Chain A
Amino acid sequence: MIKVRIPTPLRPMTEGKSEVEIAGNTVSEIIDNLGSAHPGIKERVYDEKGEVRRFINIYVNEEDIRFLTGKDTPLKDGDEVSIIPAIAGGA
């Protein structure tokens, strides 16, 4: 199982949980399985072409998957996946 960190804006879909455990061997499988377990999340993370939205990044441990092998980035036990959207508040 992989620990997935959920950002504040998506927590309404995980019953408020900031971390969930999801099975999967790649980032793509994790997002699919996350979407099955918590409906609505996948559509928020992916655009209509199935690509990660350009204001959201996915990290495996401390690395952005865009600089690894994207959604195909393989995962092993103990890895942690984080979904980090841009936030804009400041006032």
Chain B
Amino acid sequence: MEFTESQIQRYSRQIILSEVGGKGQKKLQDAKILVIGAGGLGSPAALYLAAAGIGTLGLTDGDVVDLSNLQRQILHTTDRIGVPKVESGGTLLAALNPETTLKLYPDHVSATNILSLLEAYDIVLDGSDNFSTRFLINDACFFAKKTLISGSIFRFEGQLATIKPHEGLPCYRCLYPEPPPAGLVPNCQEAGVLGALAGTIGVLQANEAIKEVLGLGESLAKHLLLYDALDMTFRKVGRPKSPDCPLCGPHPTITKLVEQEVSCSI
């Protein structure tokens, strides 16, 4: 466990925490985290993960930066409109912490590429923007036995959960067995969102990922956190393992990756 003078200085404010220390900093340095989506959730999450000294940070997104992204996607800047998001994000993350090894994937995740993408990582952060991808990520993390930190936002609300079915804990389908059918819900892009709300949930995802790496505190592995930005309330509700879960239950009906065409919210 040897750190350079500049590393000790860079991470001093967390190394000084007795719960972190040099040992914890080494764990962060050895950690490999994949952030799916370089958008509203992925931007703040990736920034804090890089800042904390996560050793290997993967970022995947198939889009290019658009002017309408900048209200909340703080990895990107006005001069990078039209640039692939992972390239834009990579520039900022590398400038913030040159010690983090960045792996940039200019792709949307799909049933064909996700399992090979996950392979090199311990923890996955879901910052995707549609049900189809969310259920795909949950299922892939289950099959690949990866810890998933799931965050999602809609208008003034956010949800957060830590998903670890490989440790006998509930998966996302234990909570919501199926996505809504297409047609029942409006298109994501029609739904507004406050930029700072995306920041709140994305930062909490980063914090939960860091806690997982350090093995600190209480996780959200058995709870769902609900944030209401208008009421200014945070609530934790129970999230038990479902005996009827179609994925991780005793009688699964989902035995391979499937992609469903679904939309954004009820």
Q: How far is the CA of A55 from the CA of B191 in the complex (A)?
A: 18
Assuming A85-B265, A90-B42, is B175 touching A9 (CB within 8 A)? no
Closest to B131 in A: A88
A63 CB, nearest partner CB in chain B, Å: 5
Assuming A44-B266, A82-B237, is B176 touching A90 (CB within 8 A)? no
B53 CB, nearest partner CB in chain A, Å: 25
Map CB proximity to B onto A11-42 as digits: 1 under 8 Å, 0 otherwise.
Answer: 00000001000000000000000000000000
Closest to A84 in B: B226
Contact B179 A90 (CB under 8 A): no
Contact B156 A87 (CB under 8 A): no
Q: Which of A8, A53, A59 contacts B157 (CB 8 A)?
A: A8
Contact B239 A86 (CB under 8 A): no
Asked whether any CB of chain A lies closer than 8 Å to the CB of B37, the reply is: yes
Contact A91 B129 (CB under 8 A): yes
Assuming A67-B240, A86-B131, is B37 touching A91 (CB within 8 A)? yes
Q: How far is the CA of A40 from the CA of B1 in the complex (A)?
A: 61
Instruction: Classify chain A's interface size.
Output: 20 to 34
Residues of chain B contacted by A91 (CB below 8 angstroms):
37, 39-41, 69, 73, 127-129, 188
Question: Which residue of A57, A59, A66, A86 has the most chain B CB atoms within 10 A of its CB atom?
Answer: A86
Q: How far is the CA of A88 from the CA of B68 in the complex (A)?
A: 19
Asked whether any CB of chain B lies closer than 8 Å to the CB of A7, the reply is: yes
Closest to A56 in B: B266
Asked whether any CB of chain A lies closer than 8 Å to the CB of B11, the reply is: no
Assuming A44-B266, A62-B236, A63-B237, is B230 touching A87 (CB within 8 A)? no
Contact A90 B237 (CB under 8 A): no
Task: Report how many A-B pairs have Cβ atoms within 8 Å.
Answer: 114
Q: How far is the CA of A9 from the CA of B177 in the complex (A)?
A: 19
Asked whether any CB of chain B lies closer than 8 Å to the CB of A76, the reply is: no
A22 CB, nearest partner CB in chain B, Å: 18
Closest to B38 in A: A91
Q: Which of A18, A57, A62, A67 contacts B176 (CB 8 A)?
A: A57
The A-contacting residues of B in range 240-257, CB under 8 angstroms, are 240, 242
Closest to A7 in B: B157
Closest to B224 in A: A84
Q: How far is the CA of A28 from the CA of B180 in the complex (A)?
A: 21
Contact B237 A59 (CB under 8 A): yes
B69 CB, nearest partner CB in chain A, Å: 8
Residues of chain A contacted by B69 (CB below 8 angstroms):
91
Residues of B within 8 A of A (CB): 37, 39-42, 69, 73, 126-131, 134, 151-159, 175-180, 188, 191, 193, 198, 224, 226, 228, 230-231, 235-240, 242, 264-266
Residues of A within 8 A of B (CB): 7-10, 18, 44, 53-57, 59, 62-64, 66-67, 82, 84-91
